[in-house]
A and B are shown apart, each in its own frame.
Chain A
Amino acid sequence: MARGFAILLLLQFLGEMISAGLNLPIPGNVIGMGLLLLALNLKLVRTQWVEDAVELLLSHLALFFVPAGVGVMVYFDLIAAEWFPITVSTVLSTFVVMAVTGWVAKLLEKQGAAHDA
């Protein structure tokens, strides 16, 4: 478990270094996600070294978003000032994006399956 956490934190640190060093708009942890995939692929990291830590973190992922969510309270005034366009646009757009993404993926998957057959 400790080894897994150490590896994840090390990869996050490397990701942060790359993000800051190259002045990228992509955050270090997202780069770290790519680095973990790469390290597992190159067998630099074995799955059994990290799987306990990964399982523990991912099974509680929702919890880790709570403090950032509570931060919304600081900006209630900003949202209240133009609540109508903000609410309608946020809600509708979220559903439209899910529909478009889901439908495009479904359509292309069907085509791919037909192509293979």
Chain B
Amino acid sequence: MMRDLLGTPLFGIGLTLLCYALAQLLYRRTASIFLNPVAVSITAIIGVLMFLHIPYEDYAVGGRYIHFLLGPSVVALGFPLYTRRKEILARKAPILIGVLAGALTSILSASGLAWLLGGSRDVVLSLAPKSVTTPIAISIVEKIGGIAPLTAALVVITGCLGAICGPEFCRLIGVRDAAAMGLAVGTAAHGIGTARMLEVDRLGGAIAGLAIGLNGLITAFILPLLFLLFR
């Protein structure tokens, strides 16, 4: 009976919504940035699945319906780009050069640090596109030869990190302007960071969404070339 129910979408969808609703409640009650609803829900669901020995595949039967909504949501990010187009066009140079600087920094710092700390070639390559949105990161890693599933996991962890403390870190280092903050969080922490930025500031969120696309484009172009140089 229980086993049959676990194989239906009801389980994955129900567990995700339940955990997310509770995580949101916890976040609002405590107002602690470290209790970020995405990070807390992910941790709680993994905890439940491991505790009850339920394989990820059973969860994914329902989880993929929620995951599906990511597709149209990314398309929807074009909407705030349109409504805030004047403010964005007024910042063409800071946006383009900022993302370019961020993309290069990301590739070099992520793989450089891992290399200095004795990471294997696989790990160094898998880390290189970690700030890029998952589908782009995967296709890059398949091209340069890292471990795609490892990259997918690192992209999510990077996103959670940026969502948890991105805006706070930006304020701490003197980046208080919503546009610059959105650009920083979107470039470093792609969609998960953008989701948080949308809660902080609408213009910042719109620019973070733009940064996802720009960083993806730039990294997809530069990383394979850099890789040829260092081979």
Q: Given A5-B72, A54-B76, A79-B153, do A105 and B120 touch, yes or no (CB 8 Å)?
A: no
A70:B46 contact, CB within 8 angstroms: yes
CA distance A43 to B196 in the complex (A): 30
Separation in Å of the B160 CB from the closest CB of chain A?
7
B157:A106 contact, CB within 8 angstroms: no
CA distance A26 to B159 in the complex (A): 19
CA distance A108 to B17 in the complex (A): 42
Nearest A residue (CB) for B189: A94
Separation in Å of the A74 CB from the closest CB of chain B?
5
> How many residues on chain A are close to B (CB under 8 Å)?
72
Q: Given A41-B82, A97-B105, do A33 and B187 touch, yes or no (CB 8 Å)?
A: no
B175:A106 contact, CB within 8 angstroms: yes
Is A114 at the interface (CB under 8 A from chain B)? no
A100:B78 contact, CB within 8 angstroms: no
Separation in Å of the B124 CB from the closest CB of chain A?
8
**CB-CB contacts below 8 Å: B117-149 with A:** 117-120, 123, 127, 130-131, 133-136, 139-140, 143, 147, 149
Nearest A residue (CB) for B74: A29
Separation in Å of the B207 CB from the closest CB of chain A?
9
A105:B41 contact, CB within 8 angstroms: no
A75:B152 contact, CB within 8 angstroms: yes
> How many residues on chain B are close to A (CB under 8 Å)?
112
Is A91 at the interface (CB under 8 A from chain B)? yes
Nearest A residue (CB) for B156: A69
B216:A30 contact, CB within 8 angstroms: yes
A37:B127 contact, CB within 8 angstroms: no
A105:B94 contact, CB within 8 angstroms: yes
A34:B213 contact, CB within 8 angstroms: yes
B71:A12 contact, CB within 8 angstroms: yes
B75:A74 contact, CB within 8 angstroms: no
- By a CB distance below 8 angstroms, the chain B residues around A101 are 98-99, 101-102, 105, 183-184, 187-188, 211
- By a CB distance below 8 angstroms, the chain A residues around B180 are 102, 105-106, 109
Is B203 at the interface (CB under 8 A from chain A)? no
Nearest A residue (CB) for B196: A62
Nearest B residue (CB) for A6: B72
- By a CB distance below 8 angstroms, the chain A residues around B60 are 67, 71
Contact for A8 among B12, B76, B83, B119, CB less than 8 A: B76
**CB-CB contacts below 8 Å: A68-117 with B:** 68-75, 78-79, 82, 84-86, 88-106, 108-109, 112
Is A9 at the interface (CB under 8 A from chain B)? yes
**CB-CB contacts below 8 Å: A3-40 with B:** 5, 8-9, 11-12, 15, 25-30, 32-37, 40
Q: Which residues of chain A have a CB within 8 Å of any CB of chain B?
A: 5, 8-9, 11-12, 15, 25-30, 32-37, 40-41, 47, 50-51, 53-54, 57-75, 78-79, 82, 84-86, 88-106, 108-109, 112
7 contacts between A and B (CB under 8 A): A53-B72, A59-B198, A60-B69, A69-B41, A94-B130, A102-B181, A108-B98
